[in-house]
Amino acid sequence: MVVSAEHIKDKLTKELGATHVDVEDTSSNRCAASFKVLVVSPQFEGKQLLQRHRMVNTCLAEELKEIHAFEQKTLTPEQWEKQKSQ
Amino acid sequence: LCAAADIQKDLGEMVKKDKVVVFMKGTPAQPMCGFSNAVVQILRMHGVDDYAAYNVLEDQDLRQGVKVFSNWPTIPQVYFNGEFLGGCDILLQMHQNGDLVEELKKLGIKS
């Protein structure tokens, strides 16, 4: 499986109900497929950071087998609005 | 299969043996990956010098085993008091929002 930024974005949007997803392909800095994602989803509300990251990991479990490095940031829509206004 | 069961049991003991346990690529003196290095630097910033670090590059069974043990797909992995805390992103965010100081306080470590 070849993992693309587009594929990751589609999957997170569909399966985590993400309202905003940024996917940066950081492969060029490293030796293999690498991505940095920002996920904004109302499903993260009331969840600890670890739980949120686990949700993303579970969603992308198949893809992560092919990915060398993966960075993530998980925000609720409220946190995202606050961050944008800063 | 037997070896896989053994490593899960070993890991259960390894994470409880020390207050702070890190599974990383390389060693604190010589990290072999930027993400592992970030964890080492964050701990250093908080004055955490006394922790157990295991180099997964030296042991493929450990490298795969710890992913199963924590149900977490990437390295580095950080444990406080036998509990999985997270990877590099989580440690960094906890460092930035002040939660890390609180967690270290619970361990009796003043940062």
ipTM for the predicted complex:
0.84
- Select the residue from B32, B35, B90 to test the A interface by mutation, using most A Cβ atoms within 10 A: B90
Q: Which residues contact B81 (CB under 8 A, 6 or more apart)?
A: B16, B19, B106, B107
Residues of A in contact with B86 (CB under 8 A): 49-50, 53
Question: Is the bond preceding B76 in cis, omega lying within 30 degrees of 0?
Answer: yes
- Give the tens place of pLDDT for each residue, B52-101: 999 999 999 999 999 999 999 999 999 999 999 999 999 999 999 999 99
CB contact under 8 A, A54 and B87: no
B57 in reach of chain A (CB within 8 A):
no
Nearest CA in chain B to A34: B74
- Give the tens place of pLDDT for each residue, A59-72: 999 999 999 899 99
Domains in chain A, please, with CATH?
5-80 (3.30.300.90)
- In the structure, what pLDDT confidence band is assigned to residue A32 with cuts at 50, 70 and 90? confident
- Give the tens place of pLDDT for each residue, B11-48: 999 999 999 999 999 999 999 999 999 999 999 999 99
CB contact under 8 A, A53 and B94: no
Q: Which residues of A touch B (CB under 8 A)?
A: 49-50, 53-54, 57, 61, 64-65, 69-73
Start-end of H helices in B18-107: 34-45, 60-70, 88-97, 99-106
In one-letter notation, the amino acid at residue B34 is G
Query: Averaged over A28-36, what is the pLDDT?
Result: 83
pTM as predicted: 0.90
